[in-house]
Amino acid sequence: MTYRVLDIIRGTTVDGPGFRTAIYFAGCRHACPGCHNPGSWDFNAGQEMTLEEIMEIVREEDFDVTLSGGDPLYHPEEIAELARCIQASGHKVWLYTGFTIEEIMASERLSLPLPYLDAIVDGPFMEALRDPDLRFRGSSNQRIIDCRSMTGGGHTPLS
Ligand code: SF4
């Protein structure tokens, strides 16, 4: 299984709680006006990495992990498998996506990674709702959803 990876930041503190390994995947079609990184929209950007190459870095750094982009949910099968491996290695997983939790839960494919995630930061970046004081989010429409509480189809925004 391979992934198109834009970058891997080791020990970041801005993409979720504590020190984290943040992995940025190439490709996004949400085209949010004001996107922080339009270069990430290209599905062929970055470099190809195997599941094992990514997991080597995850294990080496020994941090919890954030999956971001681009939008990792354009590859739900591959991301589900990676998140499963990260969870099995004893690390928590946050995922950033431009899809809303309602869109994710309505789609069998988009919800494939859910069992292996601790939290999702959902929704497109909306320039009019941009707030630099928000923790871990760019605009106030985005929610931090606690995936561990998602039983019976419910979901709980942490903020
Ligand atoms: S979802 Fe993220 S990467 Fe995609 S266009 Fe919106 S802000 Fe940019």
pLDDT in tens, 52-63: 999 999 999 999
Whole-number Å distance, alpha carbon 40 to ligand 1 midpoint, is 8
pLDDT at 106 over 90: yes
Residue 139 DSSP one-character state: B
Which is nearest to 19 in space by CA: 68, 65, 69, 80? 65
Catalogue all structural domains in the chain, each as residue range(s) with its CATH number. 2-157 (3.20.20.70)
Residue 118 Cβ inside 6 Å of ligand 1? The answer reads no
pTM for this predicted structure: 0.94
pLDDT in tens, 3-32: 999 999 999 999 999 999 999 999 999 999
Task: Looking at the CA of residue 37, tell me the nearest atom of ligand 1.
Answer: 8
Distance from C-alpha of 47 to C-alpha of 62, rounded to nearest angstrom? 23
Residue 106 Cβ inside 6 Å of ligand 1? The answer reads no
Instruction: Report which protein residue has its CA nearest ligand 1's atom 1.
Output: 98
